[in-house]
């Protein structure tokens, strides 16, 4: 696979904080790379260093086999960035907003017109071209933000939590649009806190914490890192402390959580865990509405690797 971004021994230090600590990784052509991590893990700092928006303390960054630096304008023309915070002009309508941002890269009016039309179609804004940002819903505004960042047909696209606080329909539209961008040859670096999106979209995942890579690989490879072998969920069950203590000491149980009459039991190993739990619940005369077993999700792996404590 052809590498389009190379980050080698990247370090970013502030006075009392090492935000990025000797970070090295590559991004390959036409892949969707998920860059994940809890708040304060170094994701945004890493992206800003790659884009030469921040000076860094040490290391090297290459894009398209050329050294990336603040005045590397030929490289920057091939990059699209969609930050989490919506950045559009309130005084311009949808079409004119996209036209403005696309015009920063494409001067030919006919070529730009074609690119704008394709971007509008990609994000599904055909019926809203004359609307102003204040007239748009949150989902439409997010889609406009994406169109502004990708209309010039960049080869590399950074998408920073593009589906935050949008309705399911808009989220589905955005995810479909991202898949289409990759089909058309774009390489995408994707950050999100929605692990189900990562499982749907990403070819490969890097998990950061405290400025270091703590895990990387495909979704399946990351799941192999989990100490959890099986997760059983029991819905609609009424339990007391004594019941929970007994379940916790059943064979192979790794951990249990109980909230809103839903019990989740994780197992480190073993066979027939579901059947044994059902037998136990029958013996204890504990009724439930639903019970099912599943393999650990990427969210389970993420929490196991980064911890469950709250981050700022």
**Can you state the percent helix, strand and coil of the chain, rounding each to 5?**
35, 25, 35
Closest CA to 153 of 194, 117, 199: 117
Residue 311 is predicted with a pLDDT of 72
Q: Which helix (DSSP H) or strand (DSSP E) does residue 122 occupy?
A: helix 109-123
Q: Are 131 and 156 in contact (CB under 8 A)?
A: no
Which portions of the chain are predicted below pLDDT 70? 310, 312
**So what's the pLDDT on residue 16?**
84
Query: Which of these, 307, 285, 152, 290, lies nearest to 214 by C-alpha position?
Result: 307
Domains of the chain: 3-223 (3.40.50.300), 230-295 (3.30.70.980)
pLDDT at 312: 65
Residues comprising the chain, all counted: 312
What is the pLDDT at residue 308?
A: 72
What pLDDT, on a 0 to 100 scale, did the predictor assign at position 229? 80
pLDDT in tens, 259-287: 999 999 999 877 889 999 999 999 999 99
Phi and psi at 166, nearest 5°, equal: -115, 160
Residue found under tokens 């898949």: 179
Query: With contact defined as beta carbons under 8 Å apart, do 130 and 98 qualify?
Result: no
Q: Shortest CA distance to 197 belongs to which of 226, 213, 211, 176?
A: 176
CB 198 within 8 A of CB 192: yes
Q: What is the DSSP letter of 36?
A: E
């Amino acid at each position: 696979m052809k590498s389009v971004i190379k980050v080698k021994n990247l370090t970013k230090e502030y006075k009392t904080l090492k935000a990025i600590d000797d970070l090295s990784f590559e991004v390959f052509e036409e892949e969707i790379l998920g860059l994940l991590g809890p708040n304060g893990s170094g994701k945004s700092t890493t992206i800003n260093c790659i884009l030469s928006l921040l000076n860094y303390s040490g290391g090297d960054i290459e894009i398209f086999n050329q050294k990336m630096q603040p005045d590397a304008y030929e490289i920057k023309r091939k990059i699209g960035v969609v930050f989490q915070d919506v950045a559009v002009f309130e005084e311009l309508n949808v079409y004119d907003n996209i036209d403005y941002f696309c015009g920063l890269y494409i001067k030919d009016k006919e070529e730009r017109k074609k690119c704008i039309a394709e971007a509008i179609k990609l994000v599904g804004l055909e019926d809203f071209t004359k609307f102003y940002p204040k007239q748009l819903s949150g989902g439409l505004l997010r889609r406009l933000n994406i169109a502004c960042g990708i209309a010039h047909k960049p080869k590399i696209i950074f998408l920073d939590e593009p589906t935050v606080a949008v309705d399911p329909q808009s989220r589905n539209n955005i995810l479909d649009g991202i898949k289409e961008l990759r089909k058309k040859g774009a390489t995408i670096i994707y950050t999100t806190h929605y692990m189900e999106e990562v499982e749907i979209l990403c070819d490969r995942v890097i998990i950061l914490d405290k400025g270091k890579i703590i895990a990387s690989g495909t979704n399946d490879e990351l799941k192999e890192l989990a100490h959890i072998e099986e997760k059983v969920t029991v819905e609609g069950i009424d339990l007391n402390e004594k019941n929970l203590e007994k379940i916790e000491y059943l064979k192979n149980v790794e951990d249990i959580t109980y909230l809103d009459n839903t019990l989740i039991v994780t197992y480190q190993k073993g066979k027939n865990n579901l059947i044994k739990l059902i037998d136990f619940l029958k013996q204890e005369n504990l009724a439930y509405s639903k019970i099912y077993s599943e393999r650990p999700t990427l969210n389970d792996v993420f929490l196991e690797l980064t911890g469950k404590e709250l981050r700022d």
